[in-house]
A and B are shown apart, each in its own frame.
Chain A
Amino acid sequence: MTNILLVDDEPALIAVLEPVLGAEGYSVAVASGGVPALRMAEDIRPDVVLLDLGLPDIDGKDVIRALRATSEVPIIVISARHQEGEKIAALDHGADDYVNKPFEIGELMARIRAAIRRSSSLKNTPTTYRSGPLEIDFQARRVSLAGDVVKLSPKEYDLLRTLALSAGQVVTHKRLLAVGWGSDTADSQYLRVYIGLLRQKIEEDPSDPRLLATEPGVGYRLASAS
């Protein structure tokens, strides 16, 4: 059974998430602050941590740092849209993904599933990715769309591979810049151009992307493997 540690101090939100996650078949433990969360993470070894950034006791980023010191557990940050900077900092500190408040339960569930899939793929790296018409063979470095081979430059391939290995999860600008240009401080204008090129090659309608979604201000997200 998958254990989820929910770190939140909003009774209203806990009252919703606890029973609904339970009904989905997850086992839920609730911590109402960062300090109890760290203690409980030691005890129950959760498979996923849902972390609200606005905690009463300690900064959410410190919780992430402390968790990362001992484990690779997927961390999904729950944040408000106005906490843009907080959210990016949380991702930089090692959070895996985020949902914006207010969210629909389906969105949160998809994030949880993607996080679990990714964390299990860390143990044995997948050899292929497939979502709709898009197929990637990581060993052969081969990308095809509905069976036809797509020619990608090495940089385009590296970016797509990084996105595919975290399929369903957000990948930050910083990480993509590090992969493509070897420096996470490179101009994100380059990144936009390359994402545009990728979309030209893999999307049916590049102006209405179905596979490669933009997370405004944060990064990009490739659709979950199907």
Chain B
Amino acid sequence: MTTGRPNPLIGFLTARLHLDRAGLLRTAIVLTLSAMAAFAVHPLGEVASALVFVLGITVAGALSGLASALIAALAAFLIYNFYLTEPALTFRIATGGDLAPLVVFNLCALVSGVLAGQLKDHALAARSSNLQLNSLLALSQELQSAARPSDVVVTVERAVHRILGARATLFQADEDGLRCLSPLPCEARWHDFANGIAHAPQVSGDSPLIGRRLELANAPVTVLVLEPLRPGKIKPAFIDAVANMVALTLERAALSEQITERRAVARAEKLKSALLASVSHDFRTPLTAISASASSLIAYGEKLDAETSARLLRGVVDECERLNRYTANLLEMSRMEAGGIAQPLQILGAAEMAGAALHRIRPRAGGRQVTLHAPDPDLPVAANPALFELVLLNILDNAILYSDEGARVEIAISAEDGACRIDIADSGQGIPEHALQRVFERFYRAGRPDTTGRGSGLGLAIAKGFVEALGGTIHATIPGLDGRGTRITIRLPLAEAMQA
């Protein structure tokens, strides 16, 4: 920031010639001591006294900076000239021979004072900029933690207060003008000040408040306002650095939010197209069977024998059931994707649920032998009944889809360490070992290219979502029964255990 600094030399001097009370005192003490020493060594000659003064000026410069050195040099010259050069007690110089040492003395004093003073000033400046850098670093670290735009304001307020000792907040323009972003109410004078900054960034005035308009791409006008708790401690350039940092933080948070949003959109898009593909693939086959059966009954009804007609009608009902389950699966998948789980939960008997699922799947089991083994018929679990049944049907349906006529399917329910364990095992085709984890992924069909699989690729994904939402686990292992096939093991917390 270059406000009000037309001449660099004046600026340099104003900056360098600042001397506080303590510096003045130090200079006076050093000067007094060197004057006493100079008088003490005067009998040894004027040169000795002069050197003592040079030493004093250098010390003054080293202790209190350039201004102190210059003051000390001037004072030493006067004292030396008045008391120590002939004729004493006058400022007059007796001979030309007296003039030369005086001039040399003054030059030496001035140069060494300036050098020492500059050294001191540089050291001070280095220390101060080091402190500023440390503050900026601490601020930057703290601002890093603000991941979302909504966090940035609070983080800025907290960090600026803690590290810079100032109150701060942000204002941003919307349709109604500047709005205070702080979660706490903003004072009217802050608001007015922010408005001033927004319209004329150079305005400073005599307000204790400091403001900067932030340079943001693709964002409405944003203003940072600060009020140092101790006035006059913070330099404009430092405020600029802080403002830049806050602007960067805001931009970073906005970008990161954009990326998160894009990712969420992309993920939703992907799921949506996968669901659509699933609809177009999985609904087609049952629909084809239904359409072919019904149109056959219409067109060839009288040519078909009673048994065939009944089988076609049975097929229509079965395929409607299948469509119904696909629809339920799609709905559940969308619901799980939205982060919910079907409510309400009820206390259900696991064995009873398995029995009901068995009853529904049996007409579709063909020549497969499906059995239920539940020694303890009363293991209670808390779940949504419709979803629980859907999950059991999905697993049973897989067992039937991927096994041949004559295969065995067995459901076993038992208590195990305070959990209800449900095993559904079959003697069907089984799952390749490398796919045992992946079968629970959406749209994954073990060992089949995606377009020809018979299942929707949703059943086990929904089972996993359901089980995990209830705090349970689900695993697939091989073999299932008779040394082949698949075993799906579900563990759900027992309802009493949940209440305990």
Give me the interface of A with B, judged by CB distance under 8 Å: 9-13, 15-17, 19-20, 23-24, 54-56, 80-83, 101-106, 108-109
8 Å CB contact of A103 from B288, B451, B454:
B288
Supposing A10-B454, A23-B303, A56-B452 touch, asked if A16 and B285 sit within 8 A by C-beta, the answer is no
The stretch that binds A, out of B155-163, B289-297, B334-342, B462-470, is B289-297
Asked if B448 CB lies within 8 Å of chain A CBs, one says: yes
User: Are A19 and B312 neighbours in the complex by a CB distance under 8 Å?
Assistant: yes
A-B contact pairs, 10 of them (CB 8 A): A12-B285, A12-B286, A12-B322, A16-B293, A23-B304, A54-B452, A101-B285, A102-B290, A102-B291, A102-B292
User: Are A24 and B303 neighbours in the complex by a CB distance under 8 Å?
Assistant: yes
A105 contacts across to B, CB distance below 8 A: 292, 295-296, 299-300
A81 contacts across to B, CB distance below 8 A: 280, 284
Asked if B311 CB lies within 8 Å of chain A CBs, one says: yes
Tell me the bound Cα distance from A83 to B300 in angstroms. 30
B312 contacts across to A, CB distance below 8 A: 15-16, 19-20
Supposing A10-B289, A56-B448 touch, asked if A16 and B281 sit within 8 A by C-beta, the answer is no
Supposing A12-B319, A24-B300 touch, asked if A17 and B285 sit within 8 A by C-beta, the answer is no
B454 contacts across to A, CB distance below 8 A: 9-10
User: Are A102 and B284 neighbours in the complex by a CB distance under 8 Å?
Assistant: yes
Q: Kindly provide the distance from the CB of B443 to the nearest chain A CB, expressed in whole angstroms.
A: 15
B299 contacts across to A, CB distance below 8 A: 105-106, 109
Given contact pairs A80-B281, A102-B284, A102-B288, enumerate 5 new A-B contacts (beta carbons under 8 Å): A13-B285, A15-B312, A15-B315, A16-B315, A102-B290
User: Are A102 and B308 neighbours in the complex by a CB distance under 8 Å?
Assistant: no
Tell me the bound Cα distance from A56 to B445 in angstroms. 12
Tell me the bound Cα distance from A20 to B313 in angstroms. 13
Q: Kindly provide the distance from the CB of A174 to the nearest chain B CB, expressed in whole angstroms.
A: 24
Asked if B389 CB lies within 8 Å of chain A CBs, one says: no
User: Are B451 and A15 neighbours in the complex by a CB distance under 8 Å?
Assistant: no
User: Are B451 and A54 neighbours in the complex by a CB distance under 8 Å?
Assistant: yes
User: Are A16 and B300 neighbours in the complex by a CB distance under 8 Å?
Assistant: no
Tell me the bound Cα distance from A137 to B289 in angstroms. 41
Tell me the bound Cα distance from A9 to B441 in angstroms. 24
Q: Kindly provide the distance from the CB of A191 to the nearest chain B CB, expressed in whole angstroms.
A: 29
8 Å CB contact of B304 from A10, A20, A82:
A20
Supposing A12-B285, A101-B287 touch, asked if A20 and B452 sit within 8 A by C-beta, the answer is no
* Chain B contact surface mostly: helix
User: Are A13 and B292 neighbours in the complex by a CB distance under 8 Å?
Assistant: yes
8 Å CB contact of B308 from A23, A54, A80:
A23
Tell me the bound Cα distance from A56 to B454 in angstroms. 9
Q: Kindly provide the distance from the CB of A18 to the nearest chain B CB, expressed in whole angstroms.
A: 9
Supposing A102-B290, A104-B291 touch, asked if A20 and B284 sit within 8 A by C-beta, the answer is no
Q: Kindly provide the distance from the CB of A31 to the nearest chain B CB, expressed in whole angstroms.
A: 15
Name the CB-closest residue of B to A83: B451
Name the CB-closest residue of A to B309: A19
Supposing A15-B289, A102-B287, A103-B288 touch, asked if A20 and B311 sit within 8 A by C-beta, the answer is no
Tell me the bound Cα distance from A160 to B437 in angstroms. 57
B86 contacts across to A, CB distance below 8 A: none
Tell me the bound Cα distance from A19 to B301 in angstroms. 12
Tell me the bound Cα distance from A17 to B291 in angstroms. 11
Name the CB-closest residue of A to B307: A19
Tell me the bound Cα distance from A15 to B311 in angstroms. 8
Tell me the bound Cα distance from A55 to B449 in angstroms. 10
User: Are B280 and A82 neighbours in the complex by a CB distance under 8 Å?
Assistant: yes
A82 contacts across to B, CB distance below 8 A: 277, 280-281
Supposing A19-B308, A19-B311, A54-B452 touch, asked if A13 and B288 sit within 8 A by C-beta, the answer is yes
Name the CB-closest residue of B to A15: B315
Asked if B215 CB lies within 8 Å of chain A CBs, one says: no
Q: Kindly provide the distance from the CB of B425 to the nearest chain A CB, expressed in whole angstroms.
A: 22
Asked if B251 CB lies within 8 Å of chain A CBs, one says: no
User: Are B452 and A13 neighbours in the complex by a CB distance under 8 Å?
Assistant: no
B300 contacts across to A, CB distance below 8 A: 20, 23-24, 105
User: Are A16 and B287 neighbours in the complex by a CB distance under 8 Å?
Assistant: no
Q: Kindly provide the distance from the CB of B201 to the nearest chain A CB, expressed in whole angstroms.
A: 59
Asked if B240 CB lies within 8 Å of chain A CBs, one says: no
Name the CB-closest residue of B to A57: B452
User: Are B292 and A104 neighbours in the complex by a CB distance under 8 Å?
Assistant: yes
A23 contacts across to B, CB distance below 8 A: 300, 303-304, 308
Asked if B142 CB lies within 8 Å of chain A CBs, one says: no
Tell me the bound Cα distance from A105 to B316 in angstroms. 14
Q: Kindly provide the distance from the CB of B446 to the nearest chain A CB, expressed in whole angstroms.
A: 12
Supposing A12-B319, A15-B311, A82-B280 touch, asked if A20 and B285 sit within 8 A by C-beta, the answer is no
